[in-house]
Amino acid sequence: MTDKHHHDHHDHHHDNELDPFAARVKALETILTEKGLIDPAAIDAIVETYEHKVGPRNGARVVAKAWTDPEFAEWLARDATAAIASLGYTGRQGEHMQAVFNTPDTHNLIVCTLCSCYPWTVLGVPPVWYKAPPYRSQAVINPRGVLAEFGLKLPEETRVRVWDSTAELRYMVVPMRPVETDDLSEDELAKLITRDSMIGTGLPLRPGSLGPGALWPPQDVAGAAT
């Protein structure tokens, strides 16, 4: 249909090229499909799910419900797997979930030092930095330094607790509800809850704030302003 040539001297604007990684994935797909181990349509469905349907909005709904419903919060603290599943979010790998609650005394941070275990069900696929070696090592060695990179400075007396995820047990952080949000509905509250606030590298937005960086406690914290 085109005037393209099949010569060794190829034209990058017209030829398709598969990079080596893409070609290897195609090769695996071919083998697995021929063996009946995968259904290409199911693969597409998984991609679609994780690109568009599963993401931090799920976790935000969990947190907003915990903020507004003490019974749910208690259930979430006791049996996060079941409480989260009650909202329709279930783990594909049968992993257990534990929700760790921030308090005025303790700030929680999640990491996977071994690889990249992450609460997919509620947060989707992890950000690049979560999977990178510096975060995986520094979150444990120097959590305050890591938090500072995210612009998050906690009061000196706040304890930072780091939770190392595994294939079987994944954590999510339940941040503290920002002040001056008593009038907000569950849906409105959910909009304040960022992905990073559920990893522990951030805090929820404050009502009316234009972006991340809202600090808790909102005032009277030495060094809180950047």
Scan residues 135-194 and list those touching other proteins (CB under 8 A): 135, 137-139, 141-142, 145-146, 149-150, 166-168, 194
**CB-CB contact of 107 with 100 (8 Å):** no
List 86, 116, 137, 185, catalytic entry = 116
Quick check: 82 binds other proteins (CB under 8 A)?
no
- Is residue 185 flagged as an active site residue? no
Shortest spacing between CB 181 and other proteins, in angstroms: 20
Whole-number Å distance between alpha carbons of 61 and 56: 9
List 115, 137, 185, 209, catalytic entry = 115
Whole-number Å distance between alpha carbons of 99 and 76: 6
Shortest spacing between CB 149 and other proteins, in angstroms: 5
**CB-CB contact of 109 with 160 (8 Å):** yes
Q: Fill in the amino acid letter for 187.
A: D
From 8-16, 81-89, 97-105, 182-190, span contacting other proteins (CB under 8 A): 8-16
Residue (of 145, 178, 179, 182) closest to 160 by Cα position = 145
Quick check: 32 binds other proteins (CB under 8 A)?
yes
The catalytic site residues sit at 112, 115-117
